[in-house]
Amino acid sequence: MNRNIFFASLVSLGMLIVAPISSMAAEEMPEGTVLTAENLDQFINMEFEGKRVGDMLPERLEWMIRERQLKMPIVHSVPIEMDEKYMQATQDGKASVVYDPATRQATGWKAGMFFDPQDIDLNDPAAGEKIIWNLRGPTYGATMDLRHISFVFIDGKKGVERIQRWWSRRYYMEGRLDGGPVVEGDGDIMQKTILVASSPQDIKGLGTFSIRYNDPSAKRPDDTWAYLKSVRRARRLTGSAWMDPIGGTVQLYDDWDIWDAVPTKYKSNTLIEKRWVFAVAHSPDISVDLEHKGSIKEFPSVGMDIPPYYYPAPHINWEPREVFVVEGIPPDGHPYSKKIVYMEVDWPRPYLGEAYDQNGKFWKFFIFQNRPDIGDDGYKAVMPVVGHVIDYKANFSTTWSSNMKSNPDGVEADDVTLKQLVKIAR
């Protein structure tokens, strides 16, 4: 055979082989598609931003679409910029942080993240521990102000049952990046938190004040006091109060930001994988609309008029986010046998979570709506502003909404104390 004809034949054959492969490239799902039970099979094998749609749906999230009426509008992801001071503090201090695998403790931290996420080896047995250590510091500013926070009790069949309104503030005593001292006090206290109810009348004045100590071993329990309106006194609670429900809600104090415990409070924290998921990272600025107080329009980011009434509203968009998936095994006495969190890779921001009962059965799912925020001092943070805490055993949710603010002006350590709780509660 003529050599030129031979090579031409090979080229033609190669084109025949390659052509079908090229034609098999997955179709791109249009932006704005709303994933539903009716159309999921149509889109699940398509791509979005170069990734298979089905691969961005964790098993429980796909189940919620197919079986539990979740609808998800999908939009393109938008980059988020965390505050430069937070990211720079991570780089400046990471060489000083020492992790001890024997005690699971991390020491030497000053501010920012304990561990640079880019330095975490996915094959490191301690990777999950390091990721949760990052969550333990101030991730949304030196002070967190939960403005206009409301818990809405929602029955999956009947809709809204009642609304509780609360006020809360968390003040970090270390890792502060608000222009003042990085550490306040003698370094003994990690953070202080007030949570107090303002309505309805039957719970008004009920509140708690808690101190979490700077104890890497987590052997020193939190100090927690509850103010009891009936006796007009504050009573100290047990050291296990961090595992208790908030008020009469289905959310534990340990579920504060899906995951609130320091890593050593849990028996173990294991990195399961790094993956992409759909999440709510750009919730609207207004989560509680006080002009419509007393109606479901007060909570525009929750679809309270659409069965099952406790999911994100139809205009709340989901976007691809790269996350770490960490599984934690709680201590004995905890209501959960395990908890799973889906947390932003570049900084510690939980988006989704799962909780399992003591028999290992799926129990609760957490969908937290987040949004970028600029504090009163210009600090750039990413804030959780709506939390869908769904008890699937009971088909019931206590969904909270808040116009949360980072680093509010004029707040000092003495504004978050037991004395202040009593003053506010009375």
What span, in angstroms and rounded, lies between the C-alpha atoms of 53 and 57?
7
Per-residue pLDDT, averaged over 134-148, amounts to 91
Per-residue pLDDT, averaged over 145-164, amounts to 95
Comparison of pLDDT for 186 and 61, the residue scoring more: 61
Asked whether the predicted pLDDT for residue 44 surpasses 90, the reply is yes
What span, in angstroms and rounded, lies between the C-alpha atoms of 316 and 300?
9
What span, in angstroms and rounded, lies between the C-alpha atoms of 54 and 76?
16
The region that residue 412 occupies, defined by phi over 0 for left and psi between -120 and 50 for alpha, beta otherwise, is beta
Dump pLDDT digits (tens) for 181-211: 999 999 899 999 999 999 998 889 889 999 9
Three-state DSSP class for 305?
coil
Asked whether the predicted pLDDT for residue 125 surpasses 50, the reply is yes
The continuous run of DSSP H or E covering 32 comes out as none
Catalogue all structural domains in the chain, each as residue range(s) with its CATH number: 3-73 (no CATH), 135-425 (2.50.20.10)
Residue 19 confidence class, pLDDT cut points 50, 70, 90: very low
What φ, ψ does residue 242 adopt, rounded to 5°? -65, -15
Mean pLDDT for all residues in the chain: 92
What span, in angstroms and rounded, lies between the C-alpha atoms of 253 and 287?
21
DSSP string, 68-82: S---EEB--------
Q: Measured between alpha carbons, how far apart are the two ends of the chain, in Å? A: 100
